[in-house]
Amino acid sequence: MKEPRVAVVTGGVAGIGRALTERLASDGFAIAVADKSDPSSLVEALHSQGVKAFGQICDVSSPDDVRAFAEATLGRFGHVDVLVMNAGIYPVSAFVDMTWAEWDRVFSINVDQLFHFTKAFLPGMLDRKWGRIVCISSTTFHAGVPMQSHYVASKGAVIGFARALAAEVGESGITVNTIAPGLVRTENTAAGTQSGLFDALAAQQAIKRTEEPADLVGPLSFLVSEDAAFITGQTLIVDGGWVRT
């Protein structure tokens, strides 16, 4: 029997990342999850569904952690076909009150992981002449929301990275794209978002309901498929029509 393609997801234990991971598993991919939280329960759940899965606690900003994760993943599966870089943080701070440490932490997680994980898995994709890289950005880059200049800048960097890398690897059967969600209701965002903000934002959207993680799984499934082989360097905005381009 043909071995399944292998997908790596960063930040795959909860929220958006878990929804993306579960969709990839249902699409037939073997799964490797890197997350700051213990992925054991997710891996066990996937195993119970007959999915080949592996997970490891990983600080995505740490070169050593990512190297160890990559070695373990490649040792188990032999290769990686799909890389989904979803892990991220989204603190709130006025710029005048922001410290360098706060700015640097956002970039070390949201941006530096792009370097670490792509360096780890792109060479194998180049060797096999096939790969799908999907980065998770945010519509805040397009809207320029206040109180998150570090976060918005980091998500702009994600889009720039994907566009530039797409131009480098397009002749090697590898696509690089970005998904830009709006404000997605997860356990973490619900706990950290001001009361009424979900409803207020939904009222500004063309589709007037709050975005859920399930709204992102179809776009990801498409971008990593053969049907999307001629789509690269693009940013797919998935926010219910809040940003209309």
Cα dihedral sign for 93, 85, 136, 7?
negative
Question: Which pLDDT score, from 0 to 100, does residue 193 have?
Answer: 77
DSSP string, 165-227: HHHHHGGGTEEEEEEEE-SB--HHHHHHS-TTHHHHHHHHSSS-S-B-THHHHHHHHHHTSGG
Tell me, what DSSP letter sits at residue 96?
Answer: G
Q: How far apart are CA 105 and CA 43, in angstroms?
A: 28
CATH class of 6-236: alpha beta
Question: Which pLDDT score, from 0 to 100, does residue 136 have?
Answer: 99
Question: Which pLDDT score, from 0 to 100, does residue 1 have?
Answer: 58
Question: Which pLDDT score, from 0 to 100, does residue 245 have?
Answer: 80
For 184, phi then psi, to 5°, come to -100, 135
Catalytic center residues: 151
pLDDT tens over the chain, length 245 residues: 578 999 999 999 999 999 999 999 999 999 999 999 999 999 999 999 999 999 999 999 999 999 999 999 999 999 999 999 999 999 999 999 999 999 999 999 999 999 999 999 999 999 999 999 999 999 999 999 999 999 999 999 999 999 999 999 999 999 999 999 999 999 888 887 777 899 999 999 999 999 999 999 999 999 999 999 999 999 999 999 999 98
User: Do 180 and 139 meet the contact criterion of CB atoms below 8 Å apart?
Assistant: yes
Domain ranges in the chain? 6-236
Of 111, 113, 112, 91, nearest to 102 by C-alpha is 91
